[in-house]
Amino acid sequence: MSRQTLRAAGMVTLVIAALLGSAYALGRSLVPEQPQRSTGMTATVNMPHYADQPPSQDFPGTPPDSPGPSESGPPPAAADGEGPYGSWISTGSSRVALTFDDGPDPQYTPQVLALLKEYGVKATFCVVGQNAQSYPGLIEAIVADGHTLCNHSWNHDIDLGERSPDAIRADLLRTSDAIRAAAPDARIAYFRQPGGAWTRPVASTCKELDMTPLHWAVDPSDWKAPGADKIINAVLTQVGPGSIVLMHDAGGDRSGTVEALRHLLPELLDHYQLEALPVGTT
């Protein structure tokens, strides 16, 4: 093969390579950029964050996202209380009960306790087992101030009611054990299902363990951290004689709840007696 022929072949190869490179670059420019995936991790890792509370007030009826009729069905006629599956939504008297969920929390629980003590009010604290185990001193403080304790599951498991009766029982017993490790003589008379997602098995199991299923009548959605003004307005609009009021002292930023409580306590005391739910004999 002559030198001229080789040179011509080389030129053709270069031209083809250049054309292929241009085509690749054009193709890449037509493909949209793929966004980076978020890991879903948050920067706050010190405390569990529960943003869950569904304000289910439609009784009778099945709470949102609960199991189907074969597992739960519509709540039966309330034999014990007027809430789902016989849970309490009323104190049964003209008195109003304040309840605080998801604690104890080292930042907000002491602030709530200080305000309650300032106004001479007793309340009910629905505590998470993990938090009771982590902060036993706060469980002791709740009991020492004369407040009532309520079991709120080990790790705020909204799907707890969908599990087997044995799994539900184990969860409730583990939580009560953590509470009693901090306050051995405390009576745990109530259980509140996380998210209000009651089912027949969870209601039956807590009753078998001598705990009253505890729901609520007033939900200011403070778990959404809407600000003190909205929390205050919601409570004062919804509250009435016998109301059980749902609030939170843990599970997220509860500064708005603390500020709302500062204004709500004197206002409520002008119109109602406030009580901790009764626990019976120890």
CA distances from 102 to 47, 194, 204 (A): 11, 9, 22
Q: Is 248 helix (H, G, I), strand (E, B) or coil?
A: strand
**Angstrom distance (rounded) from CA 150 to CA 157:** 15
From the list 267, 269, 268, 216, the residue with the least C-alpha distance to 101 is 216
Contacts 24+ apart (CB under 8 A), 169-174: 169/205, 169/208, 169/209, 171/129, 172/205, 172/206, 172/209, 172/211, 173/209, 174/129
Q: Is 101 a catalytic residue?
A: yes
**Angstrom distance (rounded) from CA 158 to CA 51:** 11
- Catalytic residue of the set 101, 102, 105, 222: 101
Q: Say which residue the tokens 């729901």 belong to.
A: 215
* Adjacent-strand bridge partners of 248: 101
**Angstrom distance (rounded) from CA 180 to CA 167:** 20
Q: Which two tokens stand for residue 226?
A: 């809407």
Q: Which two tokens stand for residue 67?
A: 């199991």
Q: Is 147 a catalytic residue?
A: no
Given a contact cutoff of 8 angstroms between Cβ atoms, the answer to whether 257 and 222 are in contact is yes
Exposure of 255 by Cβ count < 10 A (0-12 exposed, 13-18 middle, 19+ buried)? middle
- Catalytic residue of the set 147, 171, 248, 249: 248
Given a contact cutoff of 8 angstroms between Cβ atoms, the answer to whether 103 and 254 are in contact is no
**Which residues are tagged catalytic?**
101, 248
